[in-house]
Amino acid sequence: MVDLSVDLPLILINIATFLAGMVLIWFVFLKGFSKKMQDRTDLIKNTIDSAEKQKIDVEKLKAEYEKQLETIEKKFQEKIREATKEGNEIRNDIVLKAREEAKELLEKTKEKLDIEKEKMLKEMRIEVATLGITIAEKVIKQSINKETQDKIVEDIIKEVENT
């Protein structure tokens, strides 16, 4: 039969050998592996932290650029409004000046026409008076001297002007 007795010194030696082997494995293999695993964990954590920080920085930068873009758009719209307003003012000034110049030209033309009209009327009066004297001379068959003729012309002109 098989002996199933427990040999306590053998078990203690096996346990001691197992523990010594575990300590030896720990110091030789697992300690370096544990250090490398910790370094790798720290690297991953730092990379994730850095990525999150960069993401926050990018979001801040994006918000800043959007704000700047909005400011630029507002300035652009304001410039367009100012340019449109200025263009309308210039157009209105040009139209007003053109109307004023047309009014002045019309007034000057009317004045020139009035002067020409007066000049033509005066010439016509002189012609009528001269014609009247010539007719009267022929009718009366007498000759009037130049001084008398001029006096008669002036008198007739004054009479025509008064009427």
Q: Give domain status of residue 5, yes or no.
A: no
Q: Give domain status of residue 97, yes or no.
A: yes
Q: Give domain status of residue 3, yes or no.
A: no
pTM as predicted: 0.41
Q: What is the largest CA-CA distance in the chain?
A: 198
Q: Give domain status of residue 154, yes or no.
A: yes
Tokens of 79: 């410039």
Instruction: For residues 86 and 19, give the distance between their C-alpha atoms in angstroms, rounded to a whole number.
Output: 95
Note the pLDDT of residue 144.
Answer: 63
Q: Give domain status of residue 2, yes or no.
A: no
Q: Give domain status of residue 98, yes or no.
A: yes
Note the pLDDT of residue 104.
Answer: 94
Q: Give domain status of residue 72, yes or no.
A: yes
User: Are 143 and 137 contacting, i.e. CB atoms less than 8 angstroms apart?
Assistant: yes
Note the pLDDT of residue 100.
Answer: 94
Q: Give domain status of residue 4, yes or no.
A: no
Structural domain count of the chain: 1
Residues 6+ apart with CB under 8 A from 157: 122, 125, 126, 129
> pLDDT tens digit string along 29-64?
777 777 788 889 999 999 999 999 999 999 999 999
Instruction: For residues 90 and 31, give the distance between their C-alpha atoms in angstroms, rounded to a whole number.
Output: 86
Number of neighbouring beta carbons within 10 Å of residue 50: 10
> Which residues of the chain fall below pLDDT 70?
1-4, 138-144, 163
User: Are 128 and 160 contacting, i.e. CB atoms less than 8 angstroms apart?
Assistant: yes
Note the pLDDT of residue 8.
Answer: 85
Mark residue 124 as left, alpha or beta (left: phi above 0; alpha: psi -120 to 50; beta: remaining).
alpha
Note the pLDDT of residue 61.
Answer: 94
Number of neighbouring beta carbons within 10 Å of residue 133: 17
Range(s) of the domain holding residue 55:
10-162
Note the pLDDT of residue 141.
Answer: 52
